[in-house]
Structure 1
């Protein structure tokens, strides 16, 4: 990746970290998930509403590094208005991207693409994927942590 692209991606990540989108709690959220990464202390509280198979709204609160919090901001933006299946497909694509696997690059990832460089730092992958794993658990109806 070129240094210009690296710089652009860093700016996108820091923008989501400093001005997170969808920060807060949905008081009437139909799904609530709490997860943490005990390795580094990142934690997330994710609430979202699903109606007729569509993720209508999503919000998050939490504490963590710039990667985990910006990823949560990007994830909530990406899933709002999507069908549950589409949101789960995005989570799979994101996971594959983080693990350096081939993924469906036909899907427009928007700002999420800025996190692809995290794959070069294995210790930070859990930071980037925390919010996504919480969303998957919530959409699949798995137990809260």
Structure 2
């Protein structure tokens, strides 16, 4: 686990200067809302030859939801769908408190503390749930 000050710095940096923000014209996308807090995230995906060739998001909300979306794009873009599934499973287990932070998650471990904040878990998983739905859309397109 990262020191708390480092984790806060990573989260703050991704909230203030999000990576992967923007639309991908013509790409499958899904918008999800968290009605409990008003967060909203749209995730766009481009899958080419079994790889996430394009991945972006737009949205509004708290530092957790927006930094999670930014980190998602930075971590997963270019990965194979198999790698995406494995990383997503590790991230979800960490956020839900079912597994310790795994160094393979890189800067995503900054969000490990969310596991102690049950109400914030939905914020941390919003973009990931939108990604899952967008990948289903991409498969059916």
The two structures have a TM-score, normalised by structure 2, of: 0.91
Gaps of 5+ in 2: none
* 3-state SS, counterpart of residue 93 of structure 1: helix
Q: Deviations over 1:39-97 (max 9, x none)?
A: 10000111111001100011110010000000000001111110112112211111110
Consecutive aligned runs of 4 or more in structure 1 exceeding 6 Å deviation = none
TM-align CA RMSD:
1.8
Measured in 2, the distance between the counterparts of 1:72 and 1:140 equals 18
More helix by share: 2
**Does 2:107 align with 1:122?**
no
> Is the CA contact 2:19–2:73 (under 8 Å) kept in the aligned structure 1?
yes
Tell me, in whole angstroms, the C-alpha distance in 2 between the residues paired with 1:138 and 1:27.
14
**Could you say which residue in structure 2 is the equivalent of 1:88?**
85
Matching residue of 2:8: 10
In the superposition, the TM-score normalised over structure 1's length comes to 0.89
Provide structure 1 residue ranges, at least 5 long, that are not aligned to the other structure.
none
What's the offset of the Cα at 1:28? 3.0
Q: Distance in 2 between matches of 1:83 and 1:141?
A: 17
Report if aligned partners of 2:56, 2:73 keep a CA contact under 8 Å in 1.
yes
Contact 2:45 2:135 in 1 (8 A): no
1-structure distance, mates of 2:106, 2:93 = 16
Q: How many residues align?
A: 138
Which residue of 1 is the match for residue 70 of structure 2? 73
Secondary structure, aligned partner of 1:101 = coil
